[in-house]
Structures are given as C-alpha cells and as structure tokens.
Amino acid sequence: EQIEKGGYEHFMLKEIFEQPKSIHDTLRGRLLVEEGIIKMAGIWDHLERLNQAQKITIIACGTSWHAGLIGEYLIEEFARIPVEVEYASEFRYRNPIITDKDIVIAISQSGETADTMAAIKMAKEKGAFVYGICNVVDSSISRVTDAGSYTHAGPEIGVASTKAFTSQLTVLSLIALKLGKHNGHLSNQEFMKLITELDALPKKVEEVLESTHENVKEIAKHFIGAQNFLYLGRGYNFPAALEGALKLKEISYIHAEGYPAAEMKHGPIALIDENMPIVIIAPKQGHYDKIVSNVQEIKARKGRVVALVNKGDTQVASVADFVIEFPETSECFSPIIASIPLQLLAYYIAVYRGANVDQPRNLAKSVTVE
C-alpha cells in the first residue's frame, strides 16, 4: 500500500497532487487547440440529438452532483440549452417530466451508485437519451447509458472525491463548449479564447498546488478546534463552496455548510461570531464588489475569514484573516482552480484532528445500496 501511495501519507493527498496530470488526461486527444476543435467521440456521434434537446437534466449524487451544478452554469451559458440538476435519489422517486426529447446526463465517479443507476433506468423508460460521465471504465453506469465520456482521472482510492471532481468539471466544460460552438451560440473568437484557457488548466493547477500547499497547511492549524464552518461563493463558485464544505464534513467531521454568498443575509449571518470560520471564494471576476461587501459584513460580526483570491488582490486580502492566492482564469473554470486549496484545507484540518482521511467513518467509496 505504501508503494501505491507513491510516497504520500494518504491516497487523498496523492490524488490531490495528481490533478495536473488527471486534468491533462481528461483533455488529452479531445482538445486540439491548434486545429481549434474539440473532438469527443461520445458527443460527436450524437451532436444533433444533444443540440436539439428541449432540456437537459443532470442527475448525480454527492460530489458528482456538485459537478452537475457547475455543468448547469456551463451548458446554459455557452450552449443556451435549459438545464436542471437533480439528486438522483429525488429524481427516481418523483415521477419527473421527462420525454423522448430530453437528454439526461448522469455523472458518477464509480459508475456504480445505486440511486444514479435507478434514475438512469427510469429516464430511459421515459424515452430520454442518457449520456454518462463516469470515471471507472466499464462500470455499470457506463454500460447502461446510451453514450458518454470517461473522465480518465485514473483510479480514485480516497473516499473523498478530489481528482474525479475536477475531471468531471473538465468534461462538462468540453461538452458545453462543443455544443455552444456547434449550435452557434459561442463565437469562434470566444471559443478559441476559452479552449486556450482550458488547455492552460493543468499548468495552473500545478502552480496552485505549489504556491498554496505550505500556506494552506499553516492556515489549517488555526482551525483544528472549529465546530462549524461556512463556505461562501457566487456564480460558478457557489457549487465550489458546496463541494468545499462537503470535503471538510466528510473527512474532518466538522459541521460545514456551503451557501451562495448573497444568501448569507437571508439566514446564515445570524450564526456569525468569532467562533464561526468562513471560507469565501472571491476571484476577481463575477460579482467581486459584492463579495467584498460580504467579507466586510462578516468582519463587522467578528467572523474569521479565509479568503481565496486571485494573485495580487488587495481589497479582500486587506480585510480577511487568512488569504490563499490562486491564478486567474475565466470565471467558468475558476472552480477547478479554487477547489484545489479547498481540498488541501479539508485534508490538513482532518489530518491534524487525527481523522482517517482515506476511509472516513460511516462512508463507502461507492454507495451501491439505497
């Protein structure tokens, strides 16, 4: 097992550090920047059907569901097809309106999750075309879906999903850009700009790992005794906040909640005092000025702020208690970059608390029963 961990203390840390490679593998052979094309067999064969969808419903559980939420932002922004995202466990029991004009995208790292599997079967019975995004090759879900794309992140052993998540986001980005380019909603110029940025992601992920690792390790020490955490983000980074909170809950057993930053004033603000650490994802794009005022509101109530900001940020950085800098990219790809320090933060807090990060209590890597 030590050999399999490749010198890392845990599989989770190894998998976090593998992300420059896993994202590169997800893109390999699919993103051809010089030719200006995205080549994905699964999509290519069904491009018309996908583009003519009246709506796309994304079904998944846990981390994969968070990836689905970001998928909704991506597909609606670039391909202008309406998207709904549902927990597979809810979808399967509520007789949803699904017809043969619908596309269902099922996302699953393991490809074995019972609720996702049952939801796919139901969607197929209703005539939908089901597209799978799985990591495990030849898994049950990849076999039962009509078409699909593998994430190619490589085996993920740690129960807490890390590299599979960023690869899911990468595949969803490819799909959204491919559909948008094909149906004309995305100009050639915009498409080229975005695929160039997508191509630069493995390098940026490497950069963020190098530049934040030691800093995050230190920051984590301040929160060993925390009992609660709030994670906030807006737009594309709202689901990234949900995912950051889930990582912390799963492995450190600290209660954590993710919220869209603007929802803070509709309830969670009542919880804020000096005992409430708040992680806020605040890249320069999106509604940066609004995030700045959120941070000020939190500080006025003595909340302890860990801010994830772009390199060179001064506004949020000057008021936050702890700052984690990450490189700039388009807003739509920023969750891929921001997730890396969030994974590290959860990892180190859990390790310092003596938790078994690779096999957290009560959790299984794939939930094959209801």
Which spans of this chain sit near ligand AGP (rule: CB under 6 A)? 61-64, 108-110, 113, 116, 159-161, 250, 363, 366-367
Which residue lies nearer to ligand AGP by CB, 109 or 329?
109
CA distance 241 to 230: 9
Shortest CB 165 distance to ligand AGP, Å: 8
Comparing CA positions, the residue from 232, 234, 230, 231 lying closest to residue 287 is: 234
Residue 307's DSSP bridge partners are 280, 323
Residue 106's DSSP bridge partners are 59, 132
Catalytic one among 126, 217, 299, 365? 365
Shortest CB 64 distance to ligand AGP, Å: 4
C-alpha neighbours within 13 Å on the C-beta side of residue 341: 33
Which residue lies nearer to ligand AGP by CB, 81 or 85?
85
Which residue lies nearer to ligand AGP by CB, 160 or 355?
160
Distances (CA, A) of 128 to 64, 67, 170: 20, 21, 24
68 with 95: CB under 8 angstroms?
no
Q: Catalytic site residue 284?
A: no
Which residue lies nearer to ligand AGP by CB, 31 or 336?
336
Who's near 176: CB < 8 A, 6+ residues apart?
Answer: 71, 74, 75, 77, 78, 79
Shortest CB 100 distance to ligand AGP, Å: 25
Shortest CB 91 distance to ligand AGP, Å: 14
CA distance 354 to 20: 28
Active site residues: 365
